[in-house]
Homo-oligomer: A and B are copies of this chain.
Amino acid sequence: MLKNDLYLRALEGKPVKRPPVWMMRQAGRYLPSYLKLQEKYDFFTRCETPELVAEITCLPIDELEPDAAILFSDILVVPRAMGFPIEIVSGSGPVFGKTITKPEEAFHFDALQALESLDYVMQGIKATLQKLENRVPLIGFSGAPWTLFCYMIEGKGSRDFSKAKAFCYQHPEAAAHVLEVLTDIVIAYLKEQIRSGVHAVQVFDSWAGLLGPEDFFTYSFPYLKRISEEVSEAPVVLFAKGAWYALEQLAWSTQASALSVDWAVKPEYARKATRHGITLQGNFDPSRLLSPVSEIREKTREMIRRFGKDRYIVNLGHGILPHVPVAHAKAFIDTVKTYGEAS
């Protein structure tokens, strides 16, 4: 049914002529067409209106033609659905109107109710699939339990999320409870996305790398593992940003179909650490899209050579930056799409 199933083939480990490519945050602020909608509708209106979700998700597909679409949404829709009021403050990011400050507060979340109020995401998926007309697969996603927990304790972005970490150290049972409940919600949420039609799902653990190795295996890994095991209806991609030390276990002790890696990881290290046993996704330095176009082309080709064309999904090592020229993003994608042709 899909006209382009390269992304799914790479997830399944099937041989490909060239690797698929898409970009994290490809429907984002570097696109003038997105900025126009940003002027008209506030952030959560954009996330919660199925027609806008479909329109925004398809902007980069129309304009840049990557090999996969990712649903326009945000990891914070989950805590919002759980009753945390969130405001997006321009220039400084999300600010929560409420946080978990005491261990007692950790025991009052209703997973099922949260899920019901996320029905607009499912409507957004259906509207997007219609608009996509099977051109490329649609990726659903969720924040990882640890990363969502960070925001629910800290209430905003942080360089170290030390409040969230301190909560874990001081109230281990309450922390484990919140992380378990979040895991339940994330699993149900991703299953529902798959039922609504997404072809694969990605779990973003943006703050994994703030945890030392032992803490990662306490506060993040078990929950990522459980998600990968229980969401069996479609491929699961895990992105534990910064957790380079856990690549082997993420590859071999979870049921993930692929791992996304950040740009601090050399391709050779990532392949060796995962014992060539899993599809890898990444890891072009987002800042590198600010290089001259000739260098973007050269470094993209080199990256593919180093990862190898099979079991590989070309992507950035994190989200695309707002001030990247569209022509540079296009050069990145086009270089992948012509990979292997006479160069």
**Residues of chain A whose beta carbon lies under 8 Å from any beta carbon of chain B:** 159-160, 162, 165-166, 169-170, 209, 212-213, 215, 242, 244-245, 263-266, 269, 285-288, 290-292, 295, 317, 321, 323
Q: Can you show 16 pairs from A to B with CB atoms below 8 A apart? A: A159-B159, A160-B286, A165-B285, A165-B288, A166-B290, A169-B288, A169-B290, A169-B292, A212-B264, A212-B288, A212-B317, A213-B264, A215-B285, A242-B264, A244-B244, A244-B245
CB distance from A307 to the nearest CB of B (A): 14
Across-interface contacts of A286 in B (CB, < 8 A): 160, 162
Indicate which residue in B159, B213, B266 contacts A266 across the interface (CB closer than 8 Å): B213
Find chain B residues with CB under 8 A from A159 CB: 159
What's the nearest-Cβ distance from chain B to residue A88, in Å? Answer: 16
Q: Are B160 and A321 in contact (CB under 8 A)?
A: yes
Q: In angstroms, how far is the closest chain B Cβ from the Cβ of A162?
A: 4
Q: Which residues of B contact A170 (CB under 8 A)?
A: 290-292
Q: Contacts A165-B287, A169-B287, A170-B291 given; 6 further ones with Cβ under 8 A?
A: A160-B321, A165-B288, A170-B290, A212-B285, A212-B288, A245-B264
Give the CA-CA distance A105 to B232 in the complex, in Å: 56
In the complex, A28→B264 CA distance in Å? 30
**Please, which residue of chain B has its CB at the minimum distance from the CB of A318?**
B160
**Chain B residues within 8 Å of A295, by CB:** 169
Question: CA separation between A245 and B292, bound complex, in Å?
Answer: 26
Contact status A212-B263, CB under 8 Å: yes
CA distance A265 to B209 in the complex (A): 11
* Distance of A245 Cα from B261 Cα, bound (Å): 14
CA distance A242 to B292 in the complex (A): 26
